Amino acid sequence: MRLTWHTASLELAEPLRISRSVMTRRDAVWVALEHGGLRGWGEAVSSRYLGLPTEEILRRLNDVRPVVERLADPETAWAELAPAGPLGADLPPGVLAAVEAAVLDLTGKRAGEPAHQLLGSPVPPSAPTARTIGIVPPVSAAVQAGRLVEAGFTVLKVKAGSPDSAEDVARVAAVREGAPDAQLLLDPNGAWTEEQAHALLPRFAALGVTAVEQPIAAGRPEALARVAAASPVPVIADEDAVSYEDAAALAGRVQGVNVKLAKCGGVRHALRIHAALRGSGTDLMLGCLTASSLGIAPAVHLVDRAHWVDLDGHLLLADDPWAGIGGTDGTVRAAPRGGLGVLPRAGIPSGAAR
């Protein structure tokens, strides 16, 4: 087998402002695994918040390359990859998820089976996805909401965490006016104190918000559990639920856990979390970083396990270099093709740099 990679820039269609930052672009590293004339792909994206700069992604890929290339075939790699085996157990989760995706894609292509079948779902999963509205003025938020609903979106996620909480309330009220029938999710990205969360969540519940992600800063799971116990809307842990151990510790103490493959380590780690939550009263949310369709695709093959789906990272891009999971009409779908089912658009290199 041969493991190669290529770095590209993903530009957002417009800046995305959240409580802690403004994003306009990020790097993507496309990982290619070749064997027997076929190529499987995965994607790792740079993330300042997760401590994963592009240079670290490339360094860790270079470290793991000789180990992967010594394996006989992708099926062997699939058996050896963490959490099933030792391979990649020391990789950052985002890099492990990308390598795992390439192995899964190539294994599926060799078998002629879509990834969802290899993961235990016989029917191609599909689900409505949330679409994010950043921290923007209320008028802009209302216009965006109306356009998204017209395009087919039924779930909207509104970012919060402005210095003045009244601005957040006004933004959500505007979105509700622009999309009166949409399901509304709220995401302050940990911007509130525990006291603010207790005071604000009833106000957002009155506006029709149906769930809130990580209302308080990460690092105090006991406080998050207290907020969840008192909240009039479900509380979904995100920044406090990075790993399997984090999610398992929160099972039964919050109403939801947001699983992102880039922070947990890939589809099989996500499936472990799903199993740990079963029967606890805590539901699964599938989320993502801003990424291309290639980076989002592995999670799409798991959407039948999720209560909430927020897989719109590819929809925020000015130009998505990959295709195959849909989403522009508000629904993401696993393609019936072998592997991940994504296809490159023009400009994807046939070879890649080491």
Tens of pLDDT, residue by residue over 73-93, are 999 999 999 999 999 999 999
Q: Is the pLDDT of residue 352 over 90?
A: no
- Each residue of 92-108: pLDDT tens digit? 999 999 999 999 999 99
pLDDT, mean of residues 147-173: 97
Q: Is the pLDDT of residue 340 over 70?
A: yes
Q: Phi first, then psi: what are they for 51, rounded to 5°?
A: 65, 40
Q: Is the pLDDT of residue 118 over 80?
A: yes
Tokens of 127: 């689900």
Q: Phi first, then psi: what are they for 113, rounded to 5°?
A: -125, 140
Distance CA 259, CA 275 (A): 12
Q: Is the pLDDT of residue 183 over 80?
A: yes
R_g over Cα of the chain: 20
pLDDT value of position 263: 95
Percent above pLDDT 90 for the chain: 95
The chain-wide mean pLDDT, for the chain, equals 96
**pLDDT bracket for residue 347 (50, 70, 90):** low
Distance CA 58, CA 286 (A): 26
pLDDT value of position 349: 62
- Each residue of 133-155: pLDDT tens digit? 999 999 999 999 999 999 999 99
pLDDT value of position 161: 96
pLDDT value of position 193: 97
SS3 readout for the chain: CEEEEEEEEEEEEEEEECCCCEEEEEEEEEEEEEECCEEEEEEEECECCCCECHHHHHHHHHHHHHHHHCCCCHHHHHHHECCCCCECCCCCHHHHHHHHHHHHHHHHHHHCCEHHHHCCCCCCCEEECEEEECCCCHHHHHHHHHHHHHHCCCEEEEECCCCCHHHHHHHHHHHHHHCCCCEEEEECCCCECHHHHHHHHHHHHHCCEEEEECCECCCCHHHHHHHHHHCCCCEEECCCCCCHHHHHHHCCCCCEEEEEHHHHCCHHHHHHHHHHHCCCCCEEEEECCCCCHHHHHHHHCCHHHCCEECCCHHHHECCCCEECCECCCCEEECCCCCECCCEECCCCCCCCEC
Percent above pLDDT 70 for the chain: 97
Q: Is the pLDDT of residue 354 over 70?
A: no
pLDDT value of position 49: 87
**pLDDT bracket for residue 20 (50, 70, 90):** confident
Q: Is the pLDDT of residue 116 over 90?
A: yes
